[in-house]
Amino acid sequence: MPWLALSLAVDEALAGPLGDALLESGADSICLDGLDTGHPTLTALLAAQADADAIVSAAARACGLVQAPAFGLSHVADEDWVRRSQAQFAPLAVGERLWIGPSWHEPPPDRTAVRLDPGLAFGTGSHPSTRLVLRFLERTIRGGERVLDYGCGSGILAICAARLGAASVDAVDLDPQAVQSTAANAHANSVTVRALAPEALADAGYDIVVANILAQPLIVLAPLLASRTAPGGRIALSGILESQAGEVALAYGPWFCLRISPEEGWALVEGERT
């Protein structure tokens, strides 16, 4: 199946926020090249019929840009995109227990391994916002917890929670392709994750709720995610620029005792349900 590859030159500081915003605005996958040269190029994979102008404009607005950046378009085949993604996907060790890597790498014998190959719903743990949540899960899950991953993407957070010993894991996403990718990746890792659309989620409380999205959707979702967190349960919110963390924490303050952990310009807002 042919796809559109949308490419644009970006400042290094803008690469992460704009890449996330492109995903939120309709891109299926993101690839970042040229960090070692000082001239990064962000490439987004779009469906052949996608409106590239609308996607770039929406992403620019989400990042607070006055003007949408110029971009180029080209056609690309599935296998070319996957091969390009493979070159970027190095294994990642998280905390003392977790290892995340693709199928062509061998995990260390003393770590809990999660295998995740590049795909259209791409999330590999390499972005600081994802690493922040992964470290939260690695230090928080001790076995038997009920976990909700809201906005699951590739399913990386849900699958890691299951591999770390969570008793049950639900993963939801608005994008049907992300739901399918999460289910497929969970099966490949021999764990049970219920992947479903948000409206199919049962009315239940969870011991741990994680959401790696963007600041504004997280603010809107505050009452919903608070209602999904059981009393004494924990929440971890990411996809947030450090400058936005205070506003997100303010939205969740009525229900949680919170703290903010920054990393590379991004932040994790985490806390316990009161």
Token look-up 């796809």 returns 3
Shared domain check, 146 and 26: no
Tell which of 26, 53, 86 closes a domain.
86
Shared domain check, 94 and 78: no
The pLDDT, as a whole number, for residue 206 is 98
Say yes or no to pLDDT of 213 above 60: yes
- The residues facing 1 across adjacent strands are none
Q: DSSP letter string over 123-148?
A: --S-SHHHHHHHHHHHHH--SS-EEE
The pLDDT, as a whole number, for residue 92 is 83
Shared domain check, 157 and 104: yes
Shared domain check, 244 and 141: yes
CA separation for the pair 15, 249 (Å, rounded): 24
Shared domain check, 212 and 180: yes
Tell which of 86, 106, 135 closes a domain.
86
Whether residue 71 contacts residue 56, with contact meaning beta carbons closer than 8 Å, is answered with yes
Which pLDDT band holds residue 122 (cuts at 50, 70, 90)? very low
Shared domain check, 133 and 77: no
The pLDDT, as a whole number, for residue 237 is 98
Encode pLDDT of 73-115 as tens digits: 988 765 555 555 555 567 888 989 999 887 778 889 999 989 8
CA separation for the pair 185, 117 (Å, rounded): 8
Highest mean pLDDT among 26-30, 206-210, 261-265: 206-210
Average pLDDT over residues 206-218: 93
Encode pLDDT of 161-210 as tens digits: 999 999 999 999 988 888 988 999 999 999 999 999 999 998 889 999 99
Phi/psi for 132 (5° steps) reads -60, -45
Range of the domain at 75: 3-86
The pLDDT, as a whole number, for residue 245 is 95
CA separation for the pair 177, 154 (Å, rounded): 9
Tell which of 86, 112, 127 closes a domain.
86
What is the domain-level CATH number for residue 47? 3.30.70.120
Shared domain check, 98 and 46: no
Shared domain check, 34 and 133: no
Say yes or no to pLDDT of 29 above 60: yes
Q: Side-chain half-sphere of 22: how many Cα atoms within 13 Å?
A: 33
- Distances in Å between the Cα of 198 and the Cα atoms of 96, 170, 231 are 32, 10, 21
Shared domain check, 250 and 232: yes
Average pLDDT over residues 111-136: 75
The percent of residues above 70 in pLDDT, for the chain, comes to: 89
CA separation for the pair 43, 35 (Å, rounded): 13
Shared domain check, 36 and 93: no
Token look-up 């996958």 returns 29
- From 191, 204, 203, 155, select the one nearest 175 (Cα to Cα): 155
The pLDDT, as a whole number, for residue 119 is 52
Shared domain check, 50 and 33: yes
Return left, alpha or beta for 115; rule: phi > 0 is left, psi -120 to 50 is alpha, else beta: beta
Shared domain check, 214 and 112: yes
Count structural domains, the chain.
2
What is the domain-level CATH number for residue 188? 3.40.50.150
Determine the 3-state secondary structure of 119 from DSSP.
coil
Mean pLDDT taken over the chain: 86
